[in-house]
A and B are shown apart, each in its own frame.
Chain A
Amino acid sequence: MTAKIQLVVEASPARNAPDEAPVHHGATSHLRRLEAESIHILRETAAEFRKPVLLYSIGKDSSVLLHLTMKAFHPGKPPFPLLHVDTTWKFREMIAFRDRRARELGLDLIVHTNHDGLNQGITPFTHGSARYTDVMKTQALRQALDLHGFDAAIGGARRDEEKSRAKERVFSHRSAAHRWDPKNQRPELWGLYNTMLAPGESMRVFPLSNWTELDVWDYILLENIPIVPLYLAAPRPVIERDGALIMVDDERMPLHSGEEPRRRSVRFRTLGCYPLSGATVSTAVTLPEIVREMMASRTSERQGRMIDRDSPASMERKKAEGYF
């Protein structure tokens, strides 16, 4: 059953290829406006909450968020730690990248795993993506927030990702049971945020609310922000399953009969747990190339996400239960 797998791990994080670095004629005012707004939100969170935390999921949005956080509190360190909810099914390159970034920036990194879920043997294969996501992501996140008593969790979600995300506030209130009530959200006027909480309640904060996927890539280019190399094309062992290309990242992946991992040049538009993240066939190996490829693409970035396919409005339901 165990397939022979060759690992593709690059030694350094992805950077612009030097000969293809984009030419910037000064800062684009559009990105600078988004940057200023996000920094304002990050500082407001630090000022108004007792114990904030930055949810670091290692993806491109998290990388931008972390970069903005470093800027917001420069020359000081961010006044809150990073939290990564580790399902134990992340790509290995992501974990290596995570640890390296935290070390390089000298940040306090908290890693939390739902050990009850592990002990129950919950995996993306045995229990299906919906149950797995609930236990290893949603429940794990709630555990971590409760354990440390965080009252504000900062995340990288954007309104352009998905329809129920488009409805979410920048400062999004959660009950003491971590529930989101989409029908009873606090109005957000001007740049004024109502940050009051009763005991046990918390806030989810989304500084990238008004960014689009393209803005995120443009900003990564503009600021030369390190990202996980999985975003760039490379030969990787993949199998085709349910219409998606799944990378076989380690020997835990159960292969069905007839499934033989093939090395194909692929990259990822979004990153999560490797069994749930579909790859795209691509030869784009530099950032400018992937941005161009993405602009020509006729599918949305969440198209490769298995968990969005569970049912209509599944994201809304997951969010109501405390998913990010």
Chain B
Amino acid sequence: MSYHEAPAIAAADAPRLGQDDRPTLRFVTCGSVDDGKSTLVGRLLYDSKTLLDDQLDALASESKAVGTTGGDLDFALLVDGLQAEREQGITIDVAYRFFATKLRRYVVADTPGHTQYTRNMATGASNAELAVVLVDARKGVITQTRRHSHILSLLGIRHVVLAVNKMDLVGFDGDRFAAITAEYLTLAGQLGISQVQCIPVVAPDGDNIAVASARMPWYTGPTVTAYLETVDVAGDISQRPFRLPVQWVNRPHAEFRGFCGRITSGTIAAGEAITVQPSGRRTQIARILTPGGERDRAAAGESVTLILSDEIDVSRGDVLTSGSAPLVSDQLAAHLVWFDDEAMVPGRRYALKCGTFSTGAVITTLEHNIAIDTMARESATTLDANQIGYVHLSLDRALVFEAYRDDREMGSFILVDPISHRTAAAGMIDLSLRRATNIHWQQLAVDKSMRARLKQQRPCVLWFTGLSGAGKSTIADLVDRRLAELGRHAALLDGDNLRHGINRDLGFSSADRMENVRRVAEIAALFVNAGIIALVALISPFRSERDMARHRVEAGEFIEIHVATPLAECERRDPKGLYRKARAGELPAFTGIDHPYETPQAPEITVDTSELTTEAACERIIRYLREHHYL
């Protein structure tokens, strides 16, 4: 089929001007390199008349210049938009493209076939309801087909179109198609992919893409377009119990306190009772604000602001729920798709993000990994990039979640390497390793605000960070004294002193330093909960750790004080003689010498003791606390 006789599936035929209710189908294309994914997507765009004249002109001239089709239109060039992709003729990263036919709109994630970019394929699949898996008719089902299909099944995709491409290169052989179909259906069965439609195609020519191919009369099934237009992928998440992970607390003034977030499942109506997890506190929905104004009811998928009947403590990461209780646990079992080039080793710490909740996590056990070719569970000690494993995780704080198979949004998470900040893995929660009821938080009768009133102060953490010898402990000590004179209740947590007690098991390796900061942050948060002002004097050289400490308490409860005395001055003072030792090579990894210190970017307060006396620094902090109504 040539350029001029493209079939008419004109998007423009549809009703327009805001009255268009065509539903959207999100799908992903996958398959190995050179199976023709990008060409298929380009062909779908072309056949749906999504392409405009200037784009077609550009495609024609680029096809001549850099195309791989001998001057004919190279549809892959429509989607392989990166320079490196064009140079190598491959897809490196996910591209999201949009097109529409009479009955539906589509968002297609065109994903790479190369093993080294499997993470990008998983990314595309995580947002899809259906997958188009391409195989080359000459090669049939290969390892990459199995790997991709396994990831699809893990990610909960139940609908697959198997597009057997390049049928022209096997002489349009119906037996070859039947053999590939049979092999794939066996695989799909093993993986629990329930709906598979196999279609023989020639992507560049458009055979069975939008128009039935005259060259394969033995095939009587639907074309790719016809199938995509009519397949029913509905799974009604609004029938599940109500869940809303709190994303943002909207508090423009004292009279308004709204909890913002996107409803992940169920519906909610004004007046209904809800429970806040993990605290277990109960209240009612007073009002529902939606982007379209105040309403009586809202459903899954909507971004709303809820106003509750009672002034209870709710913050980002909590989940508003009704109906059956969600799972709450700090011990989980989950499937992981490992992304990072650095292998997963049990025992290392990662940051885990699930919904709007973030916490530290350790992979305690690698139960097994999956041998992609055989689907067999194999024992292993590490997971390499692009491998799939089943692990146990231990979290710093209890997570509110659902099993992934029941709820994709409440059951999925990512792991982020706290040093490189790379997304190390995607996770799908299978089950809780502890009964939720056992660790339900004790609902306390006396809460933070009551304690704060008792103490006549707004509790907070004063986090002093800076180089060794900068004057952190000296200033903190003086602030502690001044607060006592003012009749306020504070507690000083000094890094050195804590290393004699709760932290005496920790050394100075990176992992131990992180654990040191984590424990101190936890203790400071407990003090804040008790209504007390916690002073922490700790070098805490890494911004990510200080951020972690900041997020252990609520917004406005963390005051970062950068004691910004320059290194030269600290080294001149050298109160503990540590710089001398470090310079002599006796103290490896000493902050400021051969270990980095990440300067705070936006500390609430900065003091430099080469310019200010300890007293003046102390007064500046007290003044800040007064001006911001902590005292």
Asked whether B92 lies within 8 Å of A183 as measured between CB atoms, the reply is yes
Report chain A residues within 8 Å CB of B488.
none
Asked whether B96 lies within 8 Å of A159 as measured between CB atoms, the reply is yes
Q: Which of B54, B119, B260 contacts A43 (CB 8 A)?
A: B260
Asked if A30 meets B24 with Cβ closer than 8 Å, knowing A75-B252, A194-B421, A299-B52, the reply is yes
Asked whether B126 lies within 8 Å of A189 as measured between CB atoms, the reply is yes
State A197–B416 Cα separation when bound (angstroms). 11
State A295–B247 Cα separation when bound (angstroms). 37
Chain B min CB distance to A109 (Å): 19
State A159–B123 Cα separation when bound (angstroms). 16
Cβ of B291 under 8 Å from chain A:
yes
Range for the number of chain B residues in contact with chain A: 35 or more
Asked whether A76 lies within 8 Å of B21 as measured between CB atoms, the reply is no
Asked if A28 meets B20 with Cβ closer than 8 Å, knowing A187-B119, A190-B126, the reply is yes
Asked whether B598 lies within 8 Å of A199 as measured between CB atoms, the reply is yes
Asked if A32 meets B247 with Cβ closer than 8 Å, knowing A192-B413, A212-B98, the reply is no
Q: Which residue of A lies closest to B427 (CB)?
A: A189
Q: Which residue of B lies closest to A303 (CB)?
A: B54
Asked whether A39 lies within 8 Å of B291 as measured between CB atoms, the reply is yes
The stretch among A7-15, A45-53, A86-94, A255-263 that forms the contact with chain B is A45-53
Cβ of B234 under 8 Å from chain A:
no
State A43–B250 Cα separation when bound (angstroms). 10
Chain A min CB distance to B435 (Å): 27
Asked whether B412 lies within 8 Å of A198 as measured between CB atoms, the reply is no
Report chain B residues within 8 Å CB of A296.
12
State A27–B250 Cα separation when bound (angstroms). 25
Asked if A166 meets B19 with Cβ closer than 8 Å, knowing A43-B260, A190-B127, the reply is no
Chain B min CB distance to A105 (Å): 14
Report chain A residues within 8 Å CB of B24.
30, 33
Q: Which of B16, B86, B416 contacts A196 (CB 8 A)?
A: B416
Q: Which residue of B lies closest to A23 (CB)?
A: B19
Cβ of B93 under 8 Å from chain A:
yes
Q: Which residue of A lies closest to B408 (CB)?
A: A190
State A72–B252 Cα separation when bound (angstroms). 13
State A317–B434 Cα separation when bound (angstroms). 51
State A19–B542 Cα separation when bound (angstroms). 61
Q: Which of B122, B260, B289 contacts A189 (CB 8 A)?
A: B122
Q: Which of B20, B107, B256, B413 contacts A75 (CB 8 A)?
A: B256
Chain A min CB distance to B550 (Å): 10
Report chain B residues within 8 Å CB of A24.
18-19
Asked whether A167 lies within 8 Å of B305 as measured between CB atoms, the reply is no
State A74–B262 Cα separation when bound (angstroms). 15
Chain B min CB distance to A137 (Å): 21
Asked whether B252 lies within 8 Å of A77 as measured between CB atoms, the reply is yes
Asked if A288 meets B17 with Cβ closer than 8 Å, knowing A71-B291, A76-B251, A312-B62, the reply is yes
Asked if A186 meets B423 with Cβ closer than 8 Å, knowing A199-B598, A295-B12, the reply is yes
State A220–B52 Cα separation when bound (angstroms). 23
Asked whether B54 lies within 8 Å of A316 as measured between CB atoms, the reply is no
Asked whether A210 lies within 8 Å of B303 as measured between CB atoms, the reply is no
Cβ of B23 under 8 Å from chain A:
yes
Chain B min CB distance to A154 (Å): 15
State A197–B351 Cα separation when bound (angstroms). 13
Asked whether B316 lies within 8 Å of A167 as measured between CB atoms, the reply is no
Q: Which residue of A lies closest to B53 (CB)?
A: A298
Q: Which residue of B lies closest to A220 (CB)?
A: B18
Chain B min CB distance to A197 (Å): 7
State A48–B395 Cα separation when bound (angstroms). 20
Report chain B residues within 8 Å CB of A32.
291-292, 302
Report chain B residues within 8 Å CB of A198.
421, 543-544, 598
Asked if A44 meets B83 with Cβ closer than 8 Å, knowing A30-B20, A187-B426, A218-B17, the reply is no
Report chain B residues within 8 Å CB of A221.
17-18
Report chain A residues within 8 Å CB of B64.
none
Asked whether A40 lies within 8 Å of B84 as measured between CB atoms, the reply is no
Asked whether B97 lies within 8 Å of A166 as measured between CB atoms, the reply is yes
Report chain A residues within 8 Å CB of B416.
194, 196
Asked whether A297 lies within 8 Å of B52 as measured between CB atoms, the reply is yes
Chain A min CB distance to B264 (Å): 9
Report chain B residues within 8 Å CB of A22.
17-19
Cβ of B22 under 8 Å from chain A:
yes
Report chain A residues within 8 Å CB of B83.
313, 316-317
Report chain A residues within 8 Å CB of B82.
163-164, 167, 182-183, 313, 316
Report chain A residues within 8 Å CB of B423.
186-187, 189, 194
Report chain A residues within 8 Å CB of B19.
22-25, 28
Asked whether B84 lies within 8 Å of A183 as measured between CB atoms, the reply is yes
State A43–B245 Cα separation when bound (angstroms). 12
Interface residues of A in 247-296 (CB under 8 A from B): 288, 291-292, 295-296
Q: Which of B55, B93, B96, B601 contacts A185 (CB 8 A)?
A: B93
Asked whether B20 lies within 8 Å of A218 as measured between CB atoms, the reply is yes
Cβ of A18 under 8 Å from chain B:
no
Interface residues of A in 172-209 (CB under 8 A from B): 182-183, 185-192, 194, 196-199, 209
Cβ of A61 under 8 Å from chain B:
no
State A296–B512 Cα separation when bound (angstroms). 65
Q: Which of B18, B53, B351 contacts A222 (CB 8 A)?
A: B18
Report chain A residues within 8 Å CB of B94.
167
Chain B min CB distance to A238 (Å): 20
Interface residues of B in 245-276 (CB under 8 A from A): 247-248, 250-252, 256, 258, 260-262
Asked if A313 meets B414 with Cβ closer than 8 Å, knowing A31-B18, A39-B291, A46-B248, the reply is no
Interface residues of B in 75-103 (CB under 8 A from A): 78-84, 86, 92-98
Q: Which of B18, B53, B127, B291 contacts A218 (CB 8 A)?
A: B18
Asked whether B23 lies within 8 Å of A30 as measured between CB atoms, the reply is yes
Report chain B residues within 8 Å CB of A196.
351, 416, 418, 421, 544
Q: Which residue of B lies closest to A70 (CB)?
A: B291
Q: Which residue of A lies closest to B107 (CB)?
A: A210
Asked whether A30 lies within 8 Å of B22 as measured between CB atoms, the reply is yes
Asked whether A192 lies within 8 Å of B250 as measured between CB atoms, the reply is no
State A44–B262 Cα separation when bound (angstroms). 11
State A170–B123 Cα separation when bound (angstroms). 12
Cβ of B356 under 8 Å from chain A:
yes
Report chain A residues within 8 Å CB of B258.
75
Which of A196, A218, A299, A313 has the largest number of chain B CB atoms within 10 A?
A196
State A68–B291 Cα separation when bound (angstroms). 8
Q: Which of B53, B250, B316 contacts A76 (CB 8 A)?
A: B250
Interface string of A127-143 (1 = CB under 8 A from B): 00000000000000000
Q: Which residue of B lies closest to A158 (CB)?
A: B98
Q: Which residue of B lies closest to A191 (CB)?
A: B409
Q: Which residue of B lies closest to A67 (CB)?
A: B291
Asked whether B55 lies within 8 Å of A300 as measured between CB atoms, the reply is yes
State A27–B301 Cα separation when bound (angstroms). 14
State A149–B248 Cα separation when bound (angstroms). 23
Known: A28-B18, A183-B82. 15 other contacts (CB 8 A): A22-B17, A28-B19, A29-B21, A32-B302, A37-B303, A74-B289, A163-B81, A166-B79, A167-B82, A187-B120, A198-B543, A199-B598, A222-B18, A299-B54, A312-B62
A-B pairs with beta carbons under 8 Å apart, 10 shown: A28-B19, A47-B248, A71-B291, A166-B95, A186-B422, A187-B122, A187-B339, A190-B412, A194-B421, A313-B83
Which residues of A does B touch, CB under 8 Å? 22-25, 27-33, 35-37, 39-40, 43-44, 46-47, 50-51, 68, 71-77, 149, 151, 159-160, 162-167, 182-183, 185-192, 194, 196-199, 209-210, 212, 214, 218, 221-222, 288, 291-292, 295-300, 303, 312-313, 316-317
A-B interface, 8 closest residue pairs, ranked by CB to CB distance from nearest: A163-B81, A76-B252, A189-B126, A39-B303, A187-B123, A196-B421, A36-B303, A298-B53
